[in-house]
Amino acid sequence: MLLNLNTVPRTLQRVQSPELNCYLERRLLYMKNQKSYTLLFLIVLSTCLFSILGHYWNIQYYRQTDPYTASAPPLTTAMRGLHDKLYLSDLSSLNTDYAVNNLIALPATAQAESTDVAPDPLADVTANLAEAPTQGKLFAAASDSLQEEIQTYEFTTATEDYFADACFIGDSRTVGISQYAGIENATFLCKTSLTIYDYEKPKLTFNDEKTSIKEILTENQFAKIYLMVGINECGTGTPETFFERYRDVVNDIRKLQPNALIFIQGNLFVTQTKSEESDSINNENIAARNALIATLANQKDIFYIDINESTLCDEGALVSDYTWDQVHIKAQYYPVWKDYLLQHAIIRDDKETTISSPPDKKTPHGLRIENE
How many alpha carbons fall within 13 Å on the CB side of residue 229?
28
> Is the pTM value of this prediction over 0.85?
no
The span from the CA of 217 to the CA of 72, in Å, is: 44
H-type alpha helices, the chain: 10-13, 18-60, 74-83, 86-95, 123-131, 135-149, 172-180, 213-219, 239-256, 272-277, 283-294, 334-342, 350-353
Write down the pLDDT at residue 122.
42
| Burial of 309 (C-beta count, 10 Å sphere; 0-12/13-18/19+) | exposed
CB 162 within 8 A of CB 223: no
220 DSSP assignment: B
Write down the pLDDT at residue 280.
92
Enumerate residues 6+ apart whose C-beta is below 8 A from 351.
Answer: none
217 DSSP assignment: H
H-type alpha helices, 85-185: 86-95, 123-131, 135-149, 172-180
How many alpha carbons fall within 13 Å on the CB side of residue 246?
30
The span from the CA of 125 to the CA of 147, in Å, is: 12
Write down the pLDDT at residue 125.
39
Write down the pLDDT at residue 36.
72
Write down the pLDDT at residue 279.
92
CB 217 within 8 A of CB 253: yes
The domain spans of the chain are 5-83, 98-113+152-371
Write down the pLDDT at residue 211.
94
Count of residues making up the chain: 372
Q: How far, in Å, are 16, 172, 224, 345 from residue 112 at the CA level? A: 100, 32, 15, 20
What CATH number matches the domain at 98-113+152-371, 3.40.50.1110, 3.50.50.60, 3.10.180.10, 3.10.20.30? 3.40.50.1110
Q: How far, in Å, are 1, 146, 262, 291, 328 from residue 297 at the CA level? A: 81, 19, 9, 11, 26
Write down the pLDDT at residue 59.
67
pLDDT tens digits, the chain, 372 residues: what are they? 455 555 555 555 555 577 777 777 777 777 777 777 777 778 888 888 888 887 876 765 554 555 677 767 877 877 866 765 556 555 544 443 332 223 333 333 333 343 344 444 444 434 443 444 445 555 455 555 545 556 889 999 999 999 999 999 999 999 999 999 999 889 999 999 999 999 999 999 877 889 999 999 999 999 999 999 999 999 889 999 999 999 999 999 999 999 999 999 999 999 999 999 999 999 999 999 999 999 999 999 999 999 999 999 999 999 999 999 999 999 999 999 999 999 999 998 754 444 444 445 555 555 666 554
Write down the pLDDT at residue 61.
53
Write down the pLDDT at residue 28.
78
The span from the CA of 3 to the CA of 10, in Å, is: 14
Write down the pLDDT at residue 262.
98
